[in-house]
Amino acid sequence: MIHPAKPINEKERLNALNSIELLKGISEEEFDNITKLASYICKTPISLITLVEEEKNWFKSNHGGPPITESERKYSHCGHAILEPHDLMEVEDMRKDLRFRDNPFTTNPELPILYYAGMPLIDNEGFALGTLCVLDTKINKLNDEQKTALKTLAKQVEKLFELRRKNLYLEKIKQQLDDHNSLLKDFAGVVSHDMKMPLANMIITADLLKVRYKDAVDEKGQELLLNLKKSALKLSDYINGILNHYESDRIVASEEVEFDLHHLLEDIIDLLNINDNCEINFPQENMFLKCNRSALEQIFINLINNSIKYNNKEKIVIDIESSMDENYYHFTVTDNGIGIPEDQLSNIFKLFKTLYITDRQGNQGNGIGLSTVKKLVESLNGKISVSSVLGENTSFKFDIKRA
């Protein structure tokens, strides 16, 4: 018997094998189907997908063989086969081959392995990781069609290996992105919370200075203090927007409950403290919902608040419509506001993307609110769209998945 030699690139080959991270001892249908087909085509009782490790062989798939998951590499047929990575190795009678004639598998009185044909499995860098092989307990010989079929099946195994490698790579990239986003989220949260108190102090201090030193500060000084307060308030709104955006994940995680739409909208109107110059028309028919109330509430708060802020009409009118089908709840929020330029409609849901227009108080938006709305809608397995006529109206349509 001759023990198989080690390939000259053995270290790199083992690294390539380990990089696939195949699960040992766990049957996987896509591999088992290939070994079943190989045995059927080659008319052999045994077929294996064998991976050659440093000291052991282990079987990713074992069709018809003894109920074992590994064997010693020094007795390996596949260890010899991978030395010629591009050729199919066939041994018609193990007893006549110096490498195998006194091999324990050959001399096994209960289940002697007398025939072997194995095609090396090559990765995309050219390393032979193992073989797809067929074995028999009697002398055998494959015809040309069977050899071609075995090589073709080996290519399918190689594609499965490469698919596994790519999936692992994508999973690692996704995990890195998730970790990175988590760090950014934590950073934004910490910074935003830490900035809220100093900003509140700035706003209060500006008001105190205006009152306490109103006789000592001239008109220009009063104007500067007012600008200071406006800037602090704008930054405070910006920070609150960031916190709401990153806390939307927590909102989506809340439980689904049963409630009616009119009651929800009434609570929102009370919360926003809407003036008499704003008319909000509810859907004609109330609708009872079962979904994430907190998330839907946040969506409506943002949309209604935007409809009020970006409106230059003497009388603000907001129409809310609703319907449902077997799978979704559908909602529309339409206002008679300033509208959105057509070339800007595709940008309004992008985080920190502003339209460079001002609200009723002359302030410019921060590009966070509608991004948060889109994030919440999509988290509820829905979609949102917008249509607008500049100077006349804007309409947001969105749907969410029914529980």
pLDDT in tens, 322-376: 999 989 999 999 999 888 888 788 778 876 556 546 555 555 554 567 888 898 8
- The two structure tokens encoding residue 316: 């603000």
We report the CATH number of the domain holding residue 38 as 3.30.450.40
What is the SS3 assignment for 362-377?
CCECCCCHHHHHHHHH
CB 398 within 8 A of CB 382: yes
Place of tokens 């609110």: 369
Whole-number pLDDT of residue 24: 75
Number of domains forming the structure of the chain: 2
Of 139-143, 232-236, 378-382, 397-401, which range is least confident? 232-236
The CA angle 94-99-101, to the nearest 5 degrees, is 40
Q: What is the largest CA-CA distance in the chain?
A: 114
CB 376 within 8 A of CB 252: yes
70-83 pLDDT, tens per residue? 899 999 999 999 99
Same domain for 154 and 268, yes or no, is no
- The two structure tokens encoding residue 2: 């001759």
Choosing from 166, 200, 230, the residue where a domain stops is 166
Same domain for 28 and 142, yes or no, is yes
Mean pLDDT of the chain: 85
Choosing from 136, 166, 196, the residue where a domain stops is 166
Q: Is 252 exposed, middle or buried (0-12, 13-18, 19+ CB in 10 A)?
A: middle
% of the chain at pLDDT higher than 70: 84
Count each helix (H run) and each strand (E run) in the chain, helices first.
10, 13
Q: Is 66 among the domain residues? A: yes
- The two structure tokens encoding residue 142: 């494959």
Mean pLDDT, residues 305-319: 88
Of 186 and 367, the one with more pLDDT: 186
Of 214-218, 245-249, 290-294, which range is least confident? 245-249
Whether the pLDDT of residue 238 is over 60: the answer is no
Q: Is 223 among the domain residues? A: no
Instruction: Please report which confidence band the pLDDT of residue 319 belongs to, taking 50, 70 and 90 as the band edges.
Output: very high
Nearest alpha-carbon partner for 316 in 286, 272, 351? 272
CB 150 within 8 A of CB 119: yes
Range of the domain at 21: 10-166
Choosing from 134, 166, 198, the residue where a domain stops is 166
- The two structure tokens encoding residue 238: 């910006």
Whether the pLDDT of residue 197 is over 60: the answer is yes
Buried b (16+ CB within 10 A) or exposed e, 75-99: bbbbbbbbeebeebbbbebbeebeb
Q: Kindly list the strands in the beta sheet with 128-136, ordered across the sheet, starting from the edge strand earlier in the chain.
A: 70-72, 56-63, 46-52, 128-136, 115-122, 89-91
Whole-number pLDDT of residue 138: 95
Whole-number pLDDT of residue 189: 62
Same domain for 159 and 265, yes or no, is no
* Backbone angles phi and psi of 34, in degrees to 5: -70, -45
Compute the CA torsion angle 305, 309, 312, 316 (nearest 10 deg).
20
Whole-number pLDDT of residue 154: 96
Whole-number pLDDT of residue 195: 66
Same domain for 273 and 376, yes or no, is yes
% of the chain at pLDDT higher than 90: 44
Q: Is 53 among the domain residues? A: yes
Of 237-241, 266-270, 395-399, which range is least confident? 237-241
d(CA 403, CA 289): 9
Q: Is 188 among the domain residues? A: no
Whole-number pLDDT of residue 205: 80
Using only C-alpha atoms, the chain has a radius of gyration, in whole angstroms, of 35
Whole-number pLDDT of residue 68: 85
Whole-number pLDDT of residue 379: 86
Instruction: Please report which confidence band the pLDDT of residue 28 belongs to, taking 50, 70 and 90 as the band edges.
Output: confident
Whether the pLDDT of residue 147 is over 90: the answer is yes
We report the CATH number of the domain holding residue 280 as 3.30.565.10
304: which residues sit within 8 A by CB, 6+ positions away? 268, 272, 280, 318, 333
The alpha carbon dihedral of 282, 283, 287, 290 has a sign of negative
**CA distances for 269 relative to 210, 275, 318, 336, angstroms:** 33, 10, 12, 18
Mean pLDDT, residues 240-263: 69
Of 305 and 133, the one with more pLDDT: 133
pTM for the whole thing? 0.53
CB 5 within 8 A of CB 83: yes
Same domain for 256 and 153, yes or no, is no
Q: Is 196 among the domain residues? A: no
Same domain for 161 and 260, yes or no, is no
**CA distances for 54 relative to 6, 67, 152, 174, 198, angstroms:** 9, 22, 27, 31, 63
